Chains A and B, each alone.
Chain A
């Protein structure tokens, strides 16, 4: 029993101890932070954010983790540094006053220095030590120590001393960041990676197609697992943030709940109930097919239900969108006023991709929407390369899915391009894909819609024409012609023909009805005539029968009278007549 306990308690210590940086996202990709008590090398070319990353490491350490820090600058003076980071909301002076931070500026000017004989860098050690002790520092940044190579001639001494310095930092137990310029084909210009080998982080600022993207990568991290990808990061008014969301989070819960598309007949096409909640819906189509209008329906219906919507418009301003949607009878202004709808407009080219992504992340985290619309998602290609845009959108979709947000993306299919593809190649990761297209028939273009795919539901396979009316999107009945679905005037003429046919058949049946009526009347007339004939015959025969009776009676009377006149025996006569009657 005790042994298992020991094993359990020693488990977390098996990996190396880490010092959380507090820099958004960096702790995720390093699985907890930088190696505690060891130096980390941060390298990158000029202007890629090395100083900023390291200063934020110190500021977060001092303010969030109670770990005071020392910043030793070799390139900027303390005043310059303080001013530079003030724009990010870091008040270094205040931290210095609170004894949470010590700044030391080391200047080496080769023109002032003559070297004669042997020396060491004990002065640097003493200064660093004094600074560490003045605030009880747990974190140290040396930015950029390579400046020493420019100031001092004797590289042999310098290298030996640097090696000693990094050793000394380890012995001191401080978590250190050493920044270095990226060299030509090497990580650092002076080969510092040779001395600092526990953790190496590479920052990069690449310009592709005139759009710059900052990226961060962990080149190595001894003794621990870490993420190996390149991650975009950005520097905004709140500092440094890394976006470690490439992890294709396929662990999101699949909701059984449904959410209406806002167009009742479209819901019918989607298994009768609309989209799945938390799914990703792609609306793609050529220009002017009503992508935005359908999205607006979706949003408007959601707001009616009291759900929160975030609408990213990359091509229209909120005012324009509201005005345009009013023309199809949707009052988005009301939703905005109620605080349920937030329309965020920004040109795709205004920022780089990672900035867009970060912005969307931030707004989603703040606004907590149930529904997010990005219209049109393809516009983001303009903010980067297609590949990057694709990666970014996948990241975005995963992020939104994990939060259970129902996402509607619209995508413009360029004229002439294949309809069933998107310029950001995301069609395979969306759950429901509605294709909007125009059908050219009989000299006119009409809009039609169909459900190209919809995972997990019985969806309609019909191509349906729809109209943008002043009371919204209206799906029409499907009319099939010999060449496919009929739309517009063809549909109308077919409708007219059908109406005519119905009328004709109605008339025909009425005619038949009348004929039948006539026949029945004729029949009945004949029946009456026959009955009359029969009746007259009957009367005749009755009359004759009565005559017979009367004649017989007469005969009997006559006979009796004769008998009376003969005075015949009454009894005989009576018996005879009775016998005659019975034989009759």
Chain B
């Protein structure tokens, strides 16, 4: 099912329909960065592309700059920068790094079963 979605993105009404289906939950993603470093910019770009490809229309990305809100780091146990946190769907997943490796990012987000 996921595979078909990936290959041919559905039109908007179709998406609404599939949203009522089991795998069409709302994706809530949070990207932690620290200032506008090349690495965080790259991470955001990679994330955006990945979401457009796989979760078009049913995702929400919140970027949190820890330089501006350092107190938010403790809540999600953030150490590494950049860190992508999948808040929804449960359970929480974390992907550390600039998401350059799309395969591993997909595995991390559980959009693809792990290799091992």
Contact = CB atoms under 8 A, between A and B. Distances in A.
B65 to A, nearest CB: 10
B34 A112 contact: no
Contacts of A116: 95-101, 104-105, 108
Interface string B22-58: 0000000000101000010011001000000000000
B6 interface: no
A113 B92 CA distance: 10
Contacts, number: 96
A112 B70 contact: no
B43 to A, nearest CB: 8
B29 to A, nearest CB: 14
Contacts of B99: 116-117
Contact of A104 (B74, B80, B105): B74
Interface string A114-126: 1111111111101
Contact of B80 (A123, A129, A130): A123
Interface in B52-108: 66-67, 70-71, 73-74, 77-83, 92-101, 104-105, 107-108
B80 A117 contact: no
Interface string A129-141: 1100000000000
Contact of B108 (A114, A126, A151): A114
Interface centre among A106, A112, A113, A119 (most CB of B within 10 A): A119
Contacts of A115: 95-97, 104
A116 to B, nearest CB: 4
Contacts of A127: 70, 73-74, 78-79
B22 to A, nearest CB: 23
B66 A118 contact: no
Given A126-B67, A127-B78, A119 B34 contact: no
Given A107-B77, A112-B93, A113-B95, A123 B83 contact: yes
Given A108-B79, A152-B80, A117 B101 contact: yes
Interface centre among B80, B83, B92 (most CB of A within 10 A): B80
A107 B34 CA distance: 20
A148 interface: yes
Given A108-B79, A123-B66, A124-B79, A117 B73 contact: no
Binding site of A, secondary structure by majority: helix, strand, loop or mixed?
mixed
Interface string A390-433: 00000000000000000000000000000000000000000000
A112 B67 CA distance: 24
A124 B81 CA distance: 9
Contacts of A122: 34, 66, 80-81
Contacts of B94: 112-114
Contact of B92 (A112, A120, A124): A112
A415 to B, nearest CB: 67
B70 A113 contact: no
B81 A123 contact: yes
Contacts of A121: 79-81
28 contacts: A106-B79, A112-B93, A112-B94, A114-B94, A114-B105, A114-B107, A115-B96, A116-B97, A116-B105, A116-B108, A118-B97, A118-B98, A118-B100, A119-B39, A119-B80, A120-B81, A123-B78, A123-B81, A123-B83, A124-B79, A126-B34, A127-B74, A127-B79, A130-B71, A130-B73, A148-B79, A152-B79, A152-B80
Given A122-B80, A123-B80, A126-B66, 20 more contacts: A106-B77, A113-B96, A113-B108, A114-B95, A114-B105, A115-B96, A115-B97, A116-B101, A116-B105, A117-B46, A117-B99, A117-B100, A118-B39, A119-B97, A121-B81, A123-B83, A124-B80, A126-B67, A127-B73, A152-B96
Interface of B: 32, 34, 39, 42-43, 46, 66-67, 70-71, 73-74, 77-83, 92-101, 104-105, 107-108
